[in-house]
């Protein structure tokens, strides 16, 4: 009799479980919020600087870190974005506010990195302007400012470094003593001065993205030449440079947009072959320390 009773209850139990699942599914389902201001999606790129740097540099352009804020999604309650600056790529989460047609953002980095902080952003015309404040107030520069314009990133194999700039690696130097010969023939050794390695004009002539380089093209180049030619490949693909030397070279370049931490899968066959050649010659190349310290 008990068995018959249990068998009779099974359909009711199954129905009850199904109803419970239905209720739970209904409770857990949330309606996706509608995306707004899609016209703001994309890369916003520009200078990232302190007030002291701005006062010191005056009107000199391209001497600051380059900041890229990539806005990915905006809803009524949430803004999802990403910041790239000084070799660091950090997720951003925040909220957009509108007041009388004025759009502002508050965007927070996670706080798990020493240089994380909060971005306060306002849209003024076609420009995002604002301030960044570090969570760690003990940093040397706990507050910075920025002005960003919307910029499209596209790989272009023909892009080259601007010839009007000088390419000197100010991150390292050698102390070199100079000899001065007087009119009476006396030779005086002057005190040692800092000299820095510099690149030759070959960095403006060799394109390792469009042309397959030969050994004769690179065998007499300086070590810095080889490094710049190689890293110009990565810059064309939007690589985020970690080393200050290469950030100093590429951040001021108008076409350079830092977007990716790894571009290995984006490299072309020609670029991969040229990188191997450049690496082989870089290993044994020497540098010219001929730029006098500033």
The predicted pLDDT at position 244 comes to 92
Spatial contact of 142 and 134, defined as CB atoms under 8 Å apart: yes
Q: How far apart are CA 205 and CA 91, in angstroms?
A: 38
The predicted pLDDT at position 60 comes to 41
pLDDT tens profile 64-121: 899 999 999 999 999 999 999 999 999 999 999 999 889 999 999 999 999 999 999 9
The predicted pLDDT at position 61 comes to 44
Say if residue 17's pLDDT is above 80.
no
pLDDT tens profile 220-264: 999 999 999 999 999 999 999 999 999 999 999 999 999 999 999
pTM: 0.82
Structural domains of the chain in order of their starting residue, each with its CATH number: 38-151 (2.40.128.120), 174-292 (no CATH)
**What percentage of residues in the chain have a pLDDT greater than 70?**
81
Instruction: Using pLDDT thresholds of 50, 70 and 90, give the confidence band for residue 30.
Output: low
Per residue, the 3-state secondary structure of the chain, as one string, reads CHHHHHHHHHHHHHHHHHHHHHHHHHHHCCCCCCCCCHHHCEEEEEEEECHHHHHHHCCCCCCCEEEEEEEEEECCCCEEEEEEECCEEEEEEEEEEEECCEEEEEEECCCCCCCCEEEEEEEECCEEEEEEEECCCCCCCCEEEEEEEEECCCCCCCCCCCCCCCCECCCCCEEECCEEECCCCCEEECCCEEEEEECCHHHHCCCCCCCCCCHHHHCCCCHHHHHHHHHHHHHHCCECCCCHHHHHHHCCCCCCCCCECCCHHHCCHHHHHHHHHHHHHHCCCCCCEEEECC
More reliable by pLDDT, 62 or 121: 121
The predicted pLDDT at position 175 comes to 86
User: For all residues of the chain together, what is the average pLDDT?
Assistant: 87
């Amino acid at each position: 009799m008990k068995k018959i009773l249990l068998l009779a209850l099974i359909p009711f139990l199954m129905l009850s479980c199904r109803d419970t699942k239905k209720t739970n599914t209904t409770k857990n389902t949330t309606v996706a919020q509608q995306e707004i201001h899609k016209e703001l999606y994309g890369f916003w790129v520009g200078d990232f600087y302190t007030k002291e740097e701005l006062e010191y540099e005056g009107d000199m352009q391209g001497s600051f870190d380059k900041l890229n804020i990539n806005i990915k999604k905006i809803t009524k309650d949430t803004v999802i974005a990403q910041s790239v600056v000084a070799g660091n790529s950090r997720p951003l989460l925040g909220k957009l506010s509108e007041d009388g047609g004025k759009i502002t953002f508050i965007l927070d980095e996670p706080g798990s990195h020493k240089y994380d902080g909060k971005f306060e952003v306002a849209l003024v015309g076609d420009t995002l302007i604002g301030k960044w404040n570090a969570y760690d107030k003990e940093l040397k520069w706990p507050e910075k400012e920025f002005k960003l314009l919307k910029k499209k990133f596209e790989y272009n194999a023909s892009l080259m470094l601007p010839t009007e700039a000088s390419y000197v690696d100010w991150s390292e130097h050698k102390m070199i003593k100079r000899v001065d010969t007087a009119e009476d023939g006396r030779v005086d050794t002057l005190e040692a001065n800092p000299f820095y390695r510099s690149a030759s004009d070959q960095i403006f002539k060799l394109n390792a993205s469009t042309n397959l380089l030969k050994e004769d093209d690179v065998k007499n180049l300086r070590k810095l030449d080889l490094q710049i030619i190689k890293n110009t490949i990565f810059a064309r693909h939007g690589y985020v440079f970690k080393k200050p030397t290469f950030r100093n070279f590429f951040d001021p370049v108008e076409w350079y947009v830092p977007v990716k931490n790894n571009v290995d899968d984006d490299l072309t066959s020609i670029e991969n072959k040229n990188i191997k050649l450049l690496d082989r010659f870089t290993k044994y190349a020497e540098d010219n320390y001929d730029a006098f310290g500033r």
